[in-house]
Amino acid sequence: MEPATQMAHDQQQPKWEGVATAELLGPKAEQVWPFLEDFFGLHKWFPTLTTCLPVHGISGQPGCVRYCAGFKTPVDCEGDQPEPNWTKQELLSIDPSQMTYSYSIVDGNVGFNSYISTLKVVPKEDGCSIEWKYEVEPVEGWTLKDLDVFIDTGLQVMASRMKASLSPKLEV
């Protein structure tokens, strides 16, 4: 395909959309929400993310931007990479009373264009769940299934880490 034809074809593809959910039995939504609300603290929970630094603004206020780096994706090549994967993410909106926020990727080297996510903590009778909705233009070298697995796997580990941090410490 000619480059101009390929660009026109890519622009006609619908955005990928997905949702991942993690159930947390025991912890209440009000206990889990502060972990997610800490927009600059994602590295504490997301697997393989080594860096999450403030770039601009105050954590938890719309317009703030975080720099995230070090994560591996399903399409990373084996061996040496010249630089780590990184993104800059902007908090678009937040509603603590509904325990939800949305953010977008505004820059990065992983090929995510027009990426927007919404995370929400949902109260349940026996605990809570975390819901992660996302949409992005098709990503070169990825499939929607790659993205679904990447986000779902990351969310399951995040939920597990959050639950473990809330569990009473065993006394020795």
DSSP for residue 43: G
Full-model pTM: 0.84
pLDDT by position in tens, the chain (length 172) = 455 444 544 556 789 999 999 999 999 999 999 999 999 999 999 988 889 999 999 999 999 999 999 866 655 544 555 578 899 999 999 999 999 999 999 999 988 999 999 999 999 999 999 999 999 999 988 999 999 999 999 999 999 999 999 986 433 3
Token output for 157 = 């580990």
Site of tokens 């820059």: 107
Domain parsing of the chain, residue ranges? 15-74+82-166
Whether domain 15-74+82-166 has CATH 2.130.10.10: no
Tokens 């601009």, residue located: 56
- Torsion sign (Cα): 65, 42, 117, 24: negative
Cβ atoms < 10 Å from Cβ of 108 = 17
Tokens of 94: 């937040």
3-class DSSP assignment, residue 25: strand
Question: DSSP state, 110?
Answer: S
